[in-house]
Amino acid sequence: MKIKSNFIYISIIIFLTILLIFGHQINKQSSASKKNEISNILQQLKTRNNQLVKIQKKLFENGKNLNDIINKEEINFISVFKDKKLNGLNNYSYSKYSTDDILFTGNQGAIGTGFIDFYDNDKNLLIATYDGIFAYTNLNNLEKFKKINSNINSLINYERFYFHEHYGIKDIHINNKKLYVSYIGKRKDNCYDLKIILAELNEIFLNFELFYQTSNCVNENNNHGFWAHQGAGGRIVNLDNANLLFTTGDFRNRPLSQNIESDFGKILKINIKNKKSEVVSLGHRNPQGLYYSKKFDFILSTEHGPKGGDEININNGPFSKVKNFGWPISSYGNHYKKNYSRNILNEAPLNKSHKKFGFEEPIKYFDPSIGISQLISLNEEDTEFLVGAMGNEIADQDLGLHYIKLNKKRDKVIDHDYFLLNERVRDMVISKNKKIIIIFLESTSSISILRKKS
């Protein structure tokens, strides 16, 4: 009887083992099929964008714009759903509006890219598309944005700004009825920088002029290579009435991040009056999110790592000394390539500790990366934050929002949660009273609004 029972158990174990192996193979094949499908879709999107580029180029030659042919006066959004419950964020209602009127993107996995900010005491919303189209609306009418004419085409006239997904606008910021716009600029042949242009906020016409540009540019021909997407940075926030904070990436010329004489791979403080900048912190790769707490005097920033190693960094008392956050000496990510020369690896070893090498440790890092983006503070004590995630993998906690909570000293993350939106979160803003959050979701070229329930 015992022998018979053992035979049954062994037979069951063998059957389950075979079933597990078979299931793994099916899943493996399914996963490969899904990756191939995604790859095909991305290639189709890239082809579509290239076709649009050719049309836009011809129109520009004749002083016209493809966006205006679609709709000269407005960017129209259609309501997808209203006041939906967002799992995990139960104290907010969730509404979403989508548009087909935004043509160009900051990533091949996106339909349309835009940046947003409040103005007029948070009653109105301004949107800027990746290729420099500006429009505004009242918060009570998110389905119809009225376009604002501008002179941006006369200031930015190199082709890649309009026709390449890695260039274009990187952020907008409104302060004291002034609109600041950051973008990747072309300084000279094969050499690119980061610029900020400025206009008086006007709903009829935006007359931009150059406000700031990095003191130098990054040449495409350097030992580490060149990738404009890694030079994105470009996030602008207020420090005080006299100064702005501005982030810059390293354009993949990695040693620039550790060079105190270079403006790249830094968080900079820019004086609004004399337009001079100084380094607040260095050792950054591509800082995409930025927040300054005036009440508690700290900077919270997010930045893209390489293959893994996205970071959230905190800089308490940021103006007492220039702090170094380690890139490319230290990173919890890895190089995409494994065959770099010894010289490159000596300059960018990506050591798996920051503190050991004299650098500031991130308060949180993500491996695998989440495609980290903008962050906003949810409470007056500046201990709770939402952090955007782009990327393309749900399993890696991309495509959604990350909630983090800091301890009372604001030097440690004590709670973390993730909310799936199935969308790339490109930009976020929150009203001064913390009751309204606006998010630009670029996977479907959509705007979402979270309203805090009373």
Q: What is the CATH number of the domain that holds 203?
A: 2.120.10.30
**Spatial CB neighbours of 183, under 8 Å, sequence gap ≥ 6:** 132, 156, 161, 167, 168, 169, 170, 194, 195, 197, 234
164 or 160, greater pLDDT:
160
User: Are 14 and 148 contained in the same domain?
Assistant: no
User: Are 356 and 212 contained in the same domain?
Assistant: yes
Confidence of residue 11 (pLDDT cuts 50, 70, 90): low
Percent of the chain with pLDDT over 90: 76
Q: Nearest to residue 194, comparing CAs of 213, 222, 220, 178?
A: 213
Whether the per-residue pLDDT at 381 is higher than 50: the answer is yes
| 8 A C-beta contact, residue 206 and residue 157 | no
Please calculate the CA angle 334-305-417 and round it to the nearest 5 degrees: 115
Confidence (pLDDT) at 432: 97
Confidence (pLDDT) at 224: 95
User: Are 154 and 32 contained in the same domain?
Assistant: no
Confidence (pLDDT) at 9: 47
Confidence (pLDDT) at 170: 97
Q: Nearest to residue 192, comparing CAs of 153, 139, 232, 152?
A: 232
Confidence (pLDDT) at 101: 95
Share in percent of the chain as helix, strand, coil (round to 5): 20, 40, 40
The first and second tokens of residue 10, run together, are: 């062994």
**Count of domains for the chain:** 2
Confidence (pLDDT) at 1: 53
Confidence of residue 423 (pLDDT cuts 50, 70, 90): very high
User: Are 172 and 42 contained in the same domain?
Assistant: no
Mean pLDDT, residues 253-257: 97
pTM summary value: 0.91
The one-character DSSP state at 290 is E
Confidence (pLDDT) at 165: 80
User: Are 163 and 258 contained in the same domain?
Assistant: yes
The first and second tokens of residue 279, run together, are: 């380094």
Between 38-42, 80-84, 259-263, 323-327, the lowest mean confidence (pLDDT) is in 38-42
Q: Which domain holds residue 22?
A: 1-64
Mean pLDDT, residues 213-232: 93
Where a domain ends, among 32, 64, 96? 64
User: Are 362 and 236 contained in the same domain?
Assistant: yes
Whether the per-residue pLDDT at 22 is higher than 60: the answer is no
- The pair phi, psi for residue 369, each rounded to 5°, is -65, 155
Tell me the per-residue pLDDT of 340-375, one tens digit each, with 9 for 90 and over.
Answer: 999 999 999 999 999 999 999 999 999 999 999 999
User: Are 125 and 218 contained in the same domain?
Assistant: yes
User: Are 23 and 116 contained in the same domain?
Assistant: no
What's the mean per-residue pLDDT of the chain? Answer: 91
Mean pLDDT, residues 125-140: 97
| 8 A C-beta contact, residue 438 and residue 429 | yes
Whether the per-residue pLDDT at 155 is higher than 50: the answer is yes
User: Are 185 and 36 contained in the same domain?
Assistant: no
User: Are 226 and 290 contained in the same domain?
Assistant: yes
157 or 241, greater pLDDT:
241
Whether the per-residue pLDDT at 85 is higher than 90: the answer is no
